[in-house]
Amino acid sequence: MSSIQATEQDTTKFLSKLEQISAQQIIICRQLDELLHLMQMPSESVMEVVEKLSTPMGLEMQTLAIQMTHKLKEA
């Protein structure tokens, strides 16, 4: 059985990627905390909460709202 040895450059790249992932996770956790807070506030509109959810996914809010409205009318 053979093993693969990483070079110092490979290790540095790997650790850099891990740091980037960690930073992104921190941002996502903050956004989720904000979303949970918004969902607990009765004065917030449902569409504002959905917008917060869809923004990281890269969806256009207007398109999503139209699709959701059509689905609700069909039901």
Classify each residue of 51-64 as buried b or exposed e, where b means 16 or more C-beta atoms within 10 Å of its C-beta.
bbbbeeeeeeeeeb
- Is 1 inside any structural domain? no
- Is 26 inside any structural domain? yes
What pLDDT, on the 0 to 100 scale, is given for residue 65? 72
- Is 28 inside any structural domain? yes
pLDDT at 74 over 80: no
Host domain of residue 55:
9-74
Q: Closest Cα partner for 56 from 27, 26, 16?
A: 27
Q: With bands split at pLDDT 50, 70 and 90, how would you rate the model's confidence at 59? A: low
Please tell me the pTM assigned to this model.
0.47
Q: What is the number of domains present in the chain?
A: 1
What pLDDT, on the 0 to 100 scale, is given for residue 51? 73
- Is 21 inside any structural domain? yes
Per residue in 19-44, pLDDT tens? 999 999 999 999 888 888 877 765 65
